Amino acid sequence: MRYHSDPAERLNKKQIAKYATKFLKNNSIINLGIGIPSLCAQYITDPTILLHAENGVYGFNKFANEKNINPDYMDAGGNFLETNKNMVFFDSVESFNLIRGGHIDTTILGAFQVSKNGDIANWMIPKRGIGSIGGAMDLCANTKNVIVTMEHTTKLNEPKIVEKCEFPLTAVNCVNKIVTDVGVFEINYNSIILKECAPGWDVLSIQNITGVKVKCDKKIVFMDIDNV
Residues with a catalytic annotation lie at 54
Specify the amino acid at residue 142.
N
Output the CA–CA distances (angstroms, integers) from residue 126 to 123, 155, 167, in the order listed.
Answer: 10, 17, 6
Instruction: Confirm or reject binding of residue 44 to other proteins (CB under 8 A).
Output: no
What is the rounded distance in angstroms from the CA atom of residue 115 to the CA atom of residue 170?
12
Interface residue with other proteins among 109, 136, 150, 214 (CB under 8 A) is: 136
Q: Applying CB under 8 A, does 72 fall inside the site for other proteins? A: yes
Q: In whole angstroms, what is the distance from residue 53 CA to residue 135 CA?
A: 10
Instruction: Using CB under 8 A, pick the residue from 15, 142, 180, 205 that binds other proteins.
Output: 142
Does 43 interact with other proteins (rule: CB under 8 A)? no
Query: Per rule CB under 8 A, is residue 99 in the interface with other proteins?
Result: yes
Query: CB 34 → other proteins: shortest distance, Å?
Result: 7
150 binds other proteins (CB under 8 A): no
Q: Is 102 in the site for other proteins (CB under 8 A)?
A: yes
Report in angstroms how near the CB of residue 175 gets to other proteins at its nearest. 13
Q: Please count the residues of this chain forming the interface with other proteins, following the rule CB under 8 A.
A: 65
Q: Does 220 bind other proteins (CB under 8 A)?
A: no
Supply φ then ψ for residue 52, to 5 degrees.
Answer: -110, 140
Which of 60, 108, 110 minimizes the C-alpha distance to 88?
Answer: 60
d(CA 57, CA 38): 15
Q: Is 172 in the site for other proteins (CB under 8 A)?
A: yes
Q: Which of 30, 39, 57, 162 binds other proteins (CB under 8 A)?
A: 57
What residues contact residue 163 under an 8 Å CB cut-off, 6+ apart? 115, 116, 211, 212
CA distances from 174 to 48, 80, 94 (A): 25, 30, 23
To the nearest whole angstrom, how small is the minimum distance from the Cβ of residue 74 to other proteins? 5
Distance CA 201, CA 64 (A): 38
Of 17-25, 127-135, 154-162, 176-184, the segment contacting other proteins by CB under 8 A is 127-135
Site membership for other proteins, residue 65 (CB under 8 A): no
Shortest approach of other proteins to residue 164 CB, angstroms?
12
**Measuring CA to CA, which residue among 226, 161, 158, 159 is closest to residue 198?**
226
The residues that touch other proteins, with contacts defined as CB under 8 A, are 29, 34-35, 50, 53-59, 66, 69-76, 78, 80-81, 83-103, 119, 125, 128-138, 141-142, 168-173
